[in-house]
Amino acid sequence: MENNFREFALITIDELGLSDYEVAKLTGIKSSSVSRWRTGKTTPRKNSLRHLAQLAGRQIRFIKSESGIKVDWVNESESSLTPYVPLQNIRQTVKVYTWSQAMSAGFFRRNGSIGQKPVHSLKGIPDIEDPLVYSLIIDEENNPMVDPYTRYGDVLIISPAASVKNGDHVLAKLTDGRLISRKIQFSDDNLFFTRHAGGTAEFSVKSGAVDFYHKVVYIRKR
């Protein structure tokens, strides 16, 4: 079964202006794997394509047909990508918001950036090299969309730039307005959300029904 995975990956990397080494550092994909894509020895896997899409700040979808599987951007009208500028040795403060704030209309822009003022800030966190890292205080009890292992008063530290793989804890924003804190699993064009890695999915959505998903890199318990 034919697919366009190799062509899509290489065009994305080139438009983002990244070297093979930078791709490896930012996504966890081996630079040798990217080299094999370039020579045509191997084809990227779906999860590698998802990592590249994260760097571009966009969502992808997989379309099956009789001739094969095609990957494309969810919003095909955005024909070009903005070059990615890797930032290293970031020691910034972390903006802190509340879950209630995050649920309000207009808090998140469609690309996942935030347009409101934080309630306060935390000191910079070592080893998180992401200038857009932010935190959410869980200020609601018994919210079915919040991971049940996260308690009232806990703080989720979230990195938009961190690569997301199967089983990672994420904060996801759906196009219908729902905000979700759950483990994530990928399968073709579907995203499954579970209470814990390897658990039974509570629900699933198509990739086009998700505005963004950001990795929860740390939970600061109350």
Is the whole model's pTM more than 0.85, yes or no?
Answer: no
Q: Once rounded to an integer, what is the mean pLDDT over residues 151-155? A: 91
Lowest mean pLDDT segment, chosen from 20-29, 84-93, 121-130, 212-221: 84-93
Q: What is 2-73's CATH number? A: 1.10.260.40
**Which band of pLDDT confidence, cut at 50, 70 and 90, is reported for residue 106?**
confident
Rounded to whole angstroms, the Cα distance separating 149 from 109 reads 27
Say if residue 90's pLDDT is above 60.
Answer: no
Query: Residue 72: its pLDDT value, please?
Result: 92
Q: Do 169 and 197 meet the contact criterion of CB atoms below 8 Å apart?
A: no
Tokens 């690309």 identify what position? 111
Q: Do 9 and 37 meet the contact criterion of CB atoms below 8 Å apart?
A: yes
Residue ranges per domain, the chain? 2-73, 94-220
- 24, 27, 12: which is closest to 72 by C-alpha? 12
94-220 sits in which CATH class? mainly beta
For residues 17 and 124, the model is more confident at 17
Domains 2-73 and 94-220 fall in the same CATH topology: no
User: Which residues share a beta bridge with 61?
Assistant: 72
**Which band of pLDDT confidence, cut at 50, 70 and 90, is reported for residue 156?**
very high
The pair of structure tokens assigned to 14 is 């080139």
- 104, 125, 110: which is closest to 57 by C-alpha? 110
- DSSP annotation of 160: T
**Which band of pLDDT confidence, cut at 50, 70 and 90, is reported for residue 196?**
low
The SS3 assignment for 53 reads: helix
Query: In whole numbers, what is the pLDDT of the chain averaged over residues?
Result: 85
Total residues found in the chain within this entry: 222
Say if residue 126's pLDDT is above 70.
Answer: no
Cα 214 from chain centroid? 4
Query: Residue 42: its pLDDT value, please?
Result: 93
